[in-house]
């Protein structure tokens, strides 16, 4: 899709608005499956937390994807989108035993990442197959804010706790059918990822009835021109060879699973916002737009970079702008960024806005969350309406407390005297 398509969407559906290119999602899915085409049994479980709109989930289901979920609500979204329970894996962190039991009752694959819940679940439900999430203590990602494989991570069971883990499995007689790891996002070094994979293979040898090994995801996508990304093709070639060799050693054709989120949808997303004010100070030119970190929190939350393009004036002379939002907080998307000359009313486009953008949006400052649009074969499809004031107050319950000395009480008292 091009700038004119995006401008047309902004005019038709208003702004701010999220736009997703379905054909880019499809091509990313095909690229990943193609890289591992020589694996006999491959399972791609899309990470719903990246972008959980039901229409996007349906698209991925139609492609043959499974679903990786982290809450019972995501499980329910997946079921509503048409995923079969057996094609959903539940990989929560810090949730209650009751929530895990509720999900297990739906027929969904359970993935447990702590010894306490593992023992409790195994004691009560030894017949239900369980996957175990291992923390290999390897950081394959480049950003410590989004790495989950380090030694102090709250995610996973430490590889050093294997004796305790094995004792729980033996005592409960529970059925372990999968082993899982996730080292974090933005994997830069394939060799480090392969090193972590060797730890997972060694762990897998401890269990005789596995059906799959889940290597997580965290593949890096480029955020700007010249940016590095995970070489999926190289990873596919090297991990495929090692995985196939392991299956021969294990004596069984296991399933190789991944749980990509960002890789599939990040580049497919665009976020469009209108410039409200161009404000010159003594040292900075601010472009203030009709959105804020209530709609796109990643830059403020962990310094994420999003390329910003003035699609209303793409050929204009570059100037330096600090792009800021309308939230009454420090609300900065970019500092001193080179962008084609901006005037009030222009539409700015944030790229790589498909993953962890709308799903992290809020109603802070009582602002409405934006619309979402899915673009496919030259057609724009509205997949989420823009919120209204009715949506904002829908679940609020108004209570008028009879406070003593209140304005209302004083007015009534004056009325009695009169």
Q: Which of 131, 247, 328, 349 is catalytic?
A: 328
CB 277 within 8 A of CB 344: yes
The alpha carbon torsion through 24, 323, 144, 18 (nearest 10 deg) reads: -30
356 is in an annotated binding site: yes
Q: How far apart (Å, rounded) are the C-alpha atoms in residues 337 and 331?
A: 15
8 A C-beta contact, residue 274 and residue 345: yes
Question: Has 349 been annotated as catalytic?
Answer: no
Helix axes 72-80, 54-63, angle to 10 degrees: 70
Alpha-carbon torsion (19, 20, 21, 22), positive or negative: negative
Strands 157-158, 42-47: pairing is unpaired
Residue 298, marked binder: yes
SS3 385: coil
Name the residue among 337, 330, 345, 340 with its Cα closest to residue 297: 330
Using DSSP bridges, classify how beta strands 255-258 and 212-214 pair: parallel, antiparallel or unpaired: parallel
Token pair, residue 380, equals 């724009």
218 marked as binding residue: yes
338 is in an annotated binding site: no
Contact 192, 223 (CB under 8 A): no
> Rounded to 5 degrees, what are φ and ψ at 22?
-60, -35
Residue 302 in marked binding region: yes
CB burial of 244-273 (b: ≥16 within 10 Å; e: otherwise) equals eebbeebeeebbbbbbbbbbbbbbbbbbbb
Pick out the residues of the known binding site. 218, 298, 302, 329, 356
Pick out the residues of the known binding site for substrate. 298, 302, 329, 356
Catalytic residue positions, numbered: 328
Pick out the residues of the known binding site for pyridoxal 5'-phosphate. 218, 356
């Amino acid at each position: 899709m091009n700038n004119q398509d995006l401008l047309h969407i902004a005019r038709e559906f208003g702004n701010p608005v999220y736009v997703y290119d379905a054909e880019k999602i499809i091509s990313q899915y095909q690229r990943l499956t193609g890289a591992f085409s020589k694996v006999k049994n491959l399972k791609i479980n899309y990470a719903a937390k990246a972008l959980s709109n039901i229409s996007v989930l349906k698209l991925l289901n139609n492609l043959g994807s499974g679903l990786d979920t982290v809450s019972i609500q995501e499980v329910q979204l997946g079921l509503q989108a048409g995923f079969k329970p057996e094609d959903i894996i539940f990989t929560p962190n810090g949730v209650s035993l009751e929530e895990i039991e509720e999900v297990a009752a739906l027929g969904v694959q359970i993935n447990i990442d702590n010894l306490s819940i593992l023992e409790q679940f195994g004691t009560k439900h030894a017949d239900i197959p369980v996957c175990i999430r291992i923390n290999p203590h390897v950081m394959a990602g480049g950003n410590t804010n989004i790495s989950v494989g380090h030694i102090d991570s709250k995610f996973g069971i430490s590889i050093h706790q294997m004796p305790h883990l094995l004792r729980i499995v033996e005592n409960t007689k529970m059925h372990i059918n999968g082993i899982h790891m996730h080292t974090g996002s933005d994997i830069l070094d394939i060799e480090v990822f392969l090193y972590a994979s060797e730890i997972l293979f060694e762990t897998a040898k401890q269990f005789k009835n596995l059906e799959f090994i889940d290597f997580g995801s965290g593949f890096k996508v480029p955020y700007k021109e010249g940016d590095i990304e995970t070489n999926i093709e190289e990873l596919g070639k090297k991990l495929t060879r090692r995985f196939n060799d392991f299956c021969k050693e294990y004596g069984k054709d296991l399933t190789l699973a991944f749980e990509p989120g960002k890789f599939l949808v990040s580049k497919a997303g665009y976020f469009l916002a209108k410039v409200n004010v161009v404000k010159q100070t003594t040292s900075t030119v601010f472009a203030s737009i009709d959105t804020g970190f209530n709609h796109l929190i990643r830059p403020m939350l962990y310094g994420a970079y999003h390329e910003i393009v003035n699609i209303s004036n793409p050929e204009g002379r570059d100037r330096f702008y600090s792009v800021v939002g309308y939230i009454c907080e420090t609300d900065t998307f970019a500092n001193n960024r080179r962008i084609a000359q901006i005037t009030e009313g222009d539409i700015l486009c944030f790229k790589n806005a498909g993953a962890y953008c709308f799903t992290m949006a809020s109603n802070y400052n009582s602002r409405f969350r934006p619309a979402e649009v899915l673009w496919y074969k030259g057609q724009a499809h509205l997949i989420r309406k823009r919120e209204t004031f009715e949506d904002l107050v829908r679940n609020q319950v108004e209570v008028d407390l009879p406070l003593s000395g209140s304005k209302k009480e004083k007015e009534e008292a004056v009325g009695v005297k009169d």
